Amino acid sequence: MAKPQGAAFWMGAQTLPIPMTMFRDNREKVIGELRKVRTFDGTALIVLQGGDNISHYDTDVDYVFRQESYFMYLFGVTEPGCYGTVDVASGSTTLFVPRLPSEYAVWMGPLLSLDDFKQKYEVDAVYYADEIDVKLGELNPSVLLTLCGPNADSGLEAKPANFKGIEKFVVDSDILFPVIAECRVIKSPAEVEVLRYVAKVSSDAHKRVMKNIRPGWHEYQGEAEFLHHAYSVGGCRHVSYTCICGAGTNSAILHYGHAGSPNDRLIKNGEMCLFDMGANYNGYAADITCSFPVNGKFTDDQKLIYNAVLAARDAVCGAAKEGVSWVDMHLLANRVMLGEMKKGGLLQGEVDEMMSAGLNGIFQPHGLGHLIGLDVHDVGGYLSHCPERPTQPGANRLRMARTLMAGMYVTIEPGCYFIEPLLNKAFADPNLAKFLVKDEIDRFRNFGGVRIEDDVLITKTGIDNFTLVPRTVDEIEAWMAQ
Amino acid sequence: MAKPQGAAFWMGAQTLPIPMTMFRDNREKVIGELRKVRTFDGTALIVLQGGDNISHYDTDVDYVFRQESYFMYLFGVTEPGCYGTVDVASGSTTLFVPRLPSEYAVWMGPLLSLDDFKQKYEVDAVYYADEIDVKLGELNPSVLLTLCGPNADSGLEAKPANFKGIEKFVVDSDILFPVIAECRVIKSPAEVEVLRYVAKVSSDAHKRVMKNIRPGWHEYQGEAEFLHHAYSVGGCRHVSYTCICGAGTNSAILHYGHAGSPNDRLIKNGEMCLFDMGANYNGYAADITCSFPVNGKFTDDQKLIYNAVLAARDAVCGAAKEGVSWVDMHLLANRVMLGEMKKGGLLQGEVDEMMSAGLNGIFQPHGLGHLIGLDVHDVGGYLSHCPERPTQPGANRLRMARTLMAGMYVTIEPGCYFIEPLLNKAFADPNLAKFLVKDEIDRFRNFGGVRIEDDVLITKTGIDNFTLVPRTVDEIEAWMAQ
């Protein structure tokens, strides 16, 4: 793709240029919404602080830098140690960048001048971060709007901007958070193209893994293959979360791949793989799961579970659109899946009764999906104006309970897992055990699990699915047979 | 390689098993040295705190976990949130691990029992971290030895272990640091095999990059190729530092590849590449630099600079051994390189006078190399009993000024760079300018730089070079022509 005329983030070659106008549009959206909720006397300034480098403990090695997501949303700045301000009335935007000693040029290359930064990020002014209190003081602002609020997924708080001298200003850290978080929920047309791009890169990377994998690989070799394609072809230096590459029983471990289980098991012939991996392009996330037999050929049992999950996914893909409740979509997916499992002889009784008893939470103990954007579990699921977290088993794991709106970008990720402690719990509970066909279920105890996860844009009439991977049994078998 | 009988870290397939006895030997070495420097009354316990997960800001996504190096050195534990203690008298070793709620099994897989941890790490006892104060109290220790001391490369301090109730104990945070840091300087036979392995993996990854690269690649595609080989073939989930992949003038930027310049430039035909990349296996580091023409064929100018650096590297490889001063090796490398540049017509005058004037620091503004081990810039360079940092230009950048000892593991990494601000500084200083042949130097202004970096074990009689890559012009051209 050709680089656009104006300033842009771009990794060259076949990667997507992200014009800096996208971040300007984000700023204009936020100040527009702020002006709707509040009238400001004098000069109100949004002040955000970007991320800093983080070292490995006391050493001089840093983690590869990742920008803080709210800061990225408004400014698109890839360097650490910056601040950014936006005048709520005029939209005038200023960056404050680290003042680096001139000898750093030996280690870091030619240092960008203030004017270089101004060109690079298409902002109105750039100063050094060590003069932020003076430069803001000259504007005599009536209030600084900083960011503070809870992240519903982590339980942590966004950390408001801080700098030496901030105590001289009137600071409000309440107004901004719900406004900017809600702005991030609805993606702009330019953001949609970035998300479409990173979903395509991730889809292709998954396809490469599926084409090359074979019994005898270790799980991490799938991860390595994905990372290579995402970076080398897609220009994605980061992934959006630690790759989950479980095979066999590991495919039923929802957050497999962590430090204690680093995707390090040998994959045996006949096993299912559940690979949940998403690239990240300039902060924007993909989050895609493919489930497939490592040898490229489904057994009947594998088909049964896979098709039950696929039916759930297809049902949601056919029903989701603006105005539909996300909780209803979760329950729809669960109902369809349980119905298929009943048809397959694993369950008995009425599906509605299974749902009432909470059997859905045994086989799918996680939510149907979540908002996604600059964070893989994106902000805005449980803002104060949103419906509260449901209480039913399974649905209580939902990362949002909102009514869908056009421009929301979500994952649809039904799954079916045979998890020992949950199965044992179900067999021990007469209200659940009565639905289980024990001999059949027992046959699946070492099966693991299946998840199918797409990243889709909600529209007024349905969805636009950005995930482009083989999904039916036939498609997967044909792709892997190549 | 086959998995050994006892417990081991192992990534399967062709990767190296690291037996837990290696960490036991590290512990025994440390307590042996402690007992030499101090007599302890009663029960003295080493207490170290391992690393914790670090989230991306306020989100629920973590960086892929990396263990703290001192903790890894003594215990080999790969999970976050642990403590470890060693009884200085008996060597008895106890781990304290996080107590996870049973429902975590759904997300993390079957939770390890205390006994599982005991088997996995071959320690004497395992308890939960939340009972550390009680369990240590039962031992009625005379002193807890925690770790506190400066990292000479970062300027940061090792953070001593801390836990609720530690104030009930006598704590000494001075004794341990110099002893354990000095122990880490001399590698054990088992550690040597790990370092040999990760250097081999990294060498092979460099070779793959050199074989596949071509003009028209972006620099990061070289990085992606390296990462893929290191992980997929070598089982190395991490690299030891952010990959430095500079081409053309970027090859003269010593720490290129950072967030502001993420290896994102197109590599043009005729350019030199300087790729500095090292894999990491269970904490143990490699740090290797290869410099080569992207098209596989050196020009005469490229040969001149490359061979000047190679001559410096060869001189050091021929002279380094136990008993030799590292500062002398640095000066030897610089002298040889300047001599070659003089032969090539770039410099004029006496090499000894160039050295006295500090011209070496213009063309190689960094040290000859550094200790390497669990940290890529490993600890022990400037402990209190060691020679102080030199003051001469170039040598003042050395990360140690010690006399070499058998069992030290160091990088040898001479380089020659054409760095605009340093060249301008040299031309502006009559004491330096008189050595420069201006027309010749000017021809190289857009050349970039060359670095050749090997990881070598110091022996009583010389070195054992663990870096196995094509090094001469002929070797590189032959390898890249394949």
Mean pLDDT value of segment A338-354: 98
Which of the four pLDDT bands, split at 50, 70 and 90, describes residue A5? confident
Percent of chain A whose pLDDT exceeds 90: 97
Q: Is the complex ipTM higher than 0.90?
A: yes
The answer to whether the CB atoms of B375 and A156 lie below 8 A apart is no
Q: Which residues pair with A280 in a beta bridge?
A: A238, A285
Which of the four pLDDT bands, split at 50, 70 and 90, describes residue A3? low
Q: CA-nearest residue of chain A to B97? A: A260
Q: CA-nearest residue of chain A to B422? A: A106
CB contact at 8 A, B289 and B431: no
At residue B3, the pLDDT reads: 65
**Residues of A with CB below 8 A from B11's CB?**
218, 220, 264
Cα B348 versus chain centre, distance: 36
The tens digit of pLDDT for each residue in B231-255 reads 999 999 999 999 999 999 999 999 9
Mean pLDDT of chain B: 97
Tokens of A320: 């989701």
Tokens of B253: 């930027």
Which residue in the set A12, A58, A237 is minimally distant from B151, CB to CB? A58
The answer to whether the CB atoms of B221 and A232 lie below 8 A apart is yes
**What is the three-state SS of chain A?**
CCCCCCCEECCCCCCCCEECHHHHHHHHHHHHHHHHHCCCCCCEEEEEECCCCCECCCCCCECCCCCCHHHHHHHCCCCCCCEEEEECCCCCEEEEECCCCHHHHHHHCCCCCHHHHHHHHCCCEEEEHHHHHHHHHHHCCCEEECCCEECCCCCCEECCCCCCCHHHCCEECCCHHHHHHHHHHCCCHHHHHHHHHHHHHHHHHHHHHHHHCCECEEHHHHHHHHHHHHHHCCCCCEECCCCEEEEHHHHHCCCCCCCCCCCCCECCCCCEEEEEECEEECCEECCEEEEEECCCCCCHHHHHHHHHHHHHHHHHHHHCCCCCEHHHHHHHHHHHHHHHHHHCCCECCCHHHHHHHCCHHHHCCCCCCCECCCCCCCCCCCCCCCCCCCCCCCHHHCCCCCECCCCCEEEECCEEECCHHHHHHHHHCHHHHCCECHHHHHHCCCCCEEECEEEEEECCCCEEECCCCCCCHHHHHHHHHC
* pLDDT above 90: residue A66: yes
Q: CA-nearest residue of chain B to A59? A: B154
Which residue in the set B51, B108, B237 is minimally distant from A57, CB to CB? B51
At residue B5, the pLDDT reads: 77
Domains of chain B: 8-185 (3.40.350.10), 189-481 (3.90.230.10)
The tens digit of pLDDT for each residue in A368-407 reads 999 999 999 999 999 999 999 999 888 999 999 999 999 9
Among A11, A15, A57, most B C-beta atoms within 10 A, so best to mutate, is A57
The tens digit of pLDDT for each residue in B409-447 reads 999 999 999 999 999 999 999 999 999 999 999 999 999
Tokens of B336: 């040889």
Which residue in the set B58, B153, B260 is minimally distant from A157, CB to CB? B58
* pLDDT above 70: residue B1: no
